[in-house]
Structure 1
């Protein structure tokens, strides 16, 4: 599996995740392709359903695969300029240690966050089909 440019994969059935993805596309100048897993070729990216259902994913041209806050950190570092600072901070030991529980809490409560909907709280198999 090789990609030419990085790919950031998120849950397109979740309104909160989709809002975050739109923010990334508008505000974070990464050359990464931001794509919902529902429209990504997971086999081509070397990702499993379990991975994409668990957390956002980063697939780099060098074969790097990262998930959750590690994926976000690589996206920010890839954007360069001032975005590198929070990207590096997320990879710093103590911050990285705290980032995973924070990410899990956000993922578990995304239906309550701005842009979230009730569908965000349903298990993937129970969510309405994307149109």
Structure 2
């Protein structure tokens, strides 16, 4: 059976903690795996895309990144999580979600569970 795939940065402790939360608490049929262990070519992804943001590759071929990927993951989950995913797709919420996502990504080494290894290299911080 083919499954959608949610890809995250396995080198980042904060990202890994978030992925563990997903696996424990969000009933999704998607595979949740670090990009370092994914067949990126088969998924149509690049390392650069995966280093930039979490990625969603749906069985229907739909691809999404960052908060759009999170919305897709939630939409593929249980009823309450689907509502959250639908909310994340509202234009105003989505418009606010991207700057918030980028801020978290830039500061993930400061987040709970984050480590110095989570820091995005200075050259890639905007």
Q: Distance in 2 between matches of 1:10 and 1:58?
A: 9
Partner of 1:12: 10
| Partners of 2:105 and 2:120 within 8 A in 1 | no
Choose from 89, 92, 95 the match for 1:91.
Answer: 89
Moved over 2 A (4+): none
Runs of at least 5 residues in structure 2 that lack an aligned partner in the other structure:
122-126
Structure-2-length-normalised TM-score: 0.93
Q: Distance in 1 between matches of 2:13 and 2:7?
A: 14
Report how many aligned residue pairs link the two structures. 121
1:106-126 CA distance string (max 9 Å, x none): 000000110100110143xxx
Partner of 1:41: 39
Aligned residues: CA RMSD:
1.0
| Partners of 2:5 and 2:30 within 8 A in 1 | yes
Do structure 1's residue 29 and structure 2's residue 32 form an aligned pair?
no
